[in-house]
Homo-oligomer: A and B are copies of this chain.
């Protein structure tokens, strides 16, 4: 006998459990929640998902998600177009925006090079980044990818591709997190933070 007493519920559980991090037990909990709520709840959720998937645009310049052809950041005249910060996905854009420390533009790669997941350079928007260097007056590219092997590989790949252009290529600082005690920092991070030490006057402003 079927474990689920309803094909409709089973189907919903199947679809929900395709989502990342959602197993079948969680999916069933979500399905039961929707069954207990008003019908409008499920309808609104479904509408929001379909509308998002069908109508969202990717900014023609930086590949950030946007409701328009050009995103709010690229179309903002107050942002500095001579600096481009390269990030993995839009969550990183949001994270950096939340710091209020950056006034340049972004370039969203849409992932990082990861042979294990079958993601190669061709799956990313690296060519579009190079197009941006060709046309415009870009002075600096800031590589802001995760401090992982995949991030470092992607950084190096992009570095090789753009080193022919007249731009400064920088990478975000790696070091001991603000608020962390030294004895708990891992050796690699601590080592890097010693090698990349700053003049004290500079470090105060960070």
**A interface residue numbers (CB < 8 A to B):** 1-9, 11-12, 14-16, 18-22, 26, 28-36, 39, 41-57, 59, 64-67, 71-73, 89-91, 93-94, 97-98, 110
Contact yes or no, A19 B33, CB < 8 A:
yes
Contact yes or no, A49 B15, CB < 8 A:
yes
Contact yes or no, B15 A48, CB < 8 A:
yes
How many monomers of this chain does the complex have?
2
* A98 CA / B28 CA spacing, docked (Å): 16
A31 partner residues in chain B, CB cutoff 8 A: 49, 52
A4 → B minimal CB distance (Å): 7
Contact yes or no, A3 B47, CB < 8 A:
no
A67 partner residues in chain B, CB cutoff 8 A: 6-8
Q: A14 touches which one: B4, B42, B48 (CB < 8 A)?
A: B48
A41 partner residues in chain B, CB cutoff 8 A: 18, 53
Q: A49 touches which one: B42, B53, B71, B91 (CB < 8 A)?
A: B42
User: When A and B form their complex, which 10 residue pairs have the shortest distance between CB atoms, in order from nearest?
Assistant: A46-B46, A42-B53, A12-B52, A15-B48, A8-B52, A15-B45, A12-B48, A6-B65, A11-B48, A46-B50
A5 partner residues in chain B, CB cutoff 8 A: 59, 64-66, 71-73, 90, 93-94
A54 → B minimal CB distance (Å): 6
A182 → B minimal CB distance (Å): 29
* A5 CA / B94 CA spacing, docked (Å): 8
Kindly report which residue of chain B lies nearest to residue A1, judged by CB atoms: B72
A98 → B minimal CB distance (Å): 7
* A35 CA / B91 CA spacing, docked (Å): 13
Question: Contacts A5-B66, A65-B6, A91-B28 hold; do A35 and B52 have CB atoms under 8 A apart?
Answer: yes
